[in-house]
Amino acid sequence: MIRSAKREKAAKQQEADAAAVERREKELERSLKPSLLPRHVAIIMDGNGRWARSRGWSERIRGHEAGTQAVRAAVETCARLKLEALTLYAFSLENWQRPRRETSALMHLLRRFLVAERDELMENNIRLIATGRLDDLPGYARQALDKTREMTAANTGLVLNLALSYSGREEIAHAVRALAQQVAEGRLQPDDIVQESITENLYAPELGDPDLLIRTSGELRVSNFLLWQIAYAEIYITDVLWPDFRKVHLLEAFVDYQKRSRRFGKVDIN
Ligand code: IPE
Ligand code: IPE
Ligand code: MG
């Protein structure tokens, strides 16, 4: 009897909390200026392991699994607000140094995600691409990735870029190798190498630089993410752990972004 009353009270509280979040989302969305939304957002999705530990679970992978809900919420929100691109740091080159049990579980989770999200991506006109050392991925993950990329290739809405086996320094080395090759073949003079030459030879130059870089779980570092592209990105760090990150948190980041004065080294004219 007492237990069921307690349960009822908890359910009521949950309902009230959900309603409060919805009100806050509406309020935040109303205060956003569509013309000042970031064009390209990049997210370092961090804190999955700590999220699992905070629940007393020893398996970090439970945090990664829960994180896919946060991915869905972020993708859905960015597509609905008509952003051009969302880059998600899903797996770094350095992450291969984690125990095999974890990297393998992450790769299987990636494959499941890529298959499960196909309908949603198509319905929302989202084009999926991936950047990083994709040849490092196990065959089963690579095949699922290639199929989802092909299926969504003609979509014209949000570009969802998954950074996989990604390293910012490696990406710059990749661009430099391409330029060195052109020099070796006599198609490029060293004196003609300018900043744009590097930019044009990055993995996905068409995305442009991110306007806003978000990192969850409170770490104050960039962990080798988009080193070239974040030169003038606005940085937003939240203590929220990635599996808890929802639409309301993303909207809060956008509202904060809209308060920034982006000067690019110039004098503010406002
Ligand atoms: C981010 O969460 C996911 C990946 C790096 C793949 P972590 O696994 O780094 O979680 P924490 O930082 O240990 O809490
Ligand atoms: C960055 O998180 C990589 C991803 C989110 C995929 P990490 O957890 O690997 O970064 P560090 O080790 O804390 O710098
Ligand atoms: Mg981490």
Domains and CATH numbers, the chain: 37-258 (3.40.1180.10)
Model pLDDT for residues 40-97, shown as the tens digit of each residue: 999 999 999 999 999 999 999 999 999 999 999 999 999 999 999 999 999 999 999 9
DSSP annotation of 188 reads S
Model pLDDT for residues 161-182, shown as the tens digit of each residue: 999 999 999 999 999 999 999 9
Top mutation candidate among 43, 45, 46 for ligand 1, by most atoms within 8 Å of CB: 46
Residue 1 banded pLDDT, cuts 50, 70, 90: low
Would you call 125 a catalytic residue per the annotation? no
Q: Residues 17, 48, 95, 135: which is the catalytic one?
A: 95
Give me the sheet containing 127-131, strands edge to edge.
127-131, 159-166, 85-92, 40-44, 212-215, 234-237
Q: How far apart are CA 204 and CA 195, in angstroms?
A: 15
Would you call 46 a catalytic residue per the annotation? yes
Which residue's CA is the nearest one to ligand 2's atom 1? 223
Nearest Cα residue to 126 out of 181, 80, 171: 80
Q: Are the beta carbons of 190 and 183 closer than 8 angstroms? A: yes
pLDDT at res. 270: 64
pLDDT at res. 242: 99
Model pLDDT for residues 3-14, shown as the tens digit of each residue: 789 999 999 999
pLDDT at res. 3: 76
Does the predicted TM-score (pTM) go above 0.75? yes
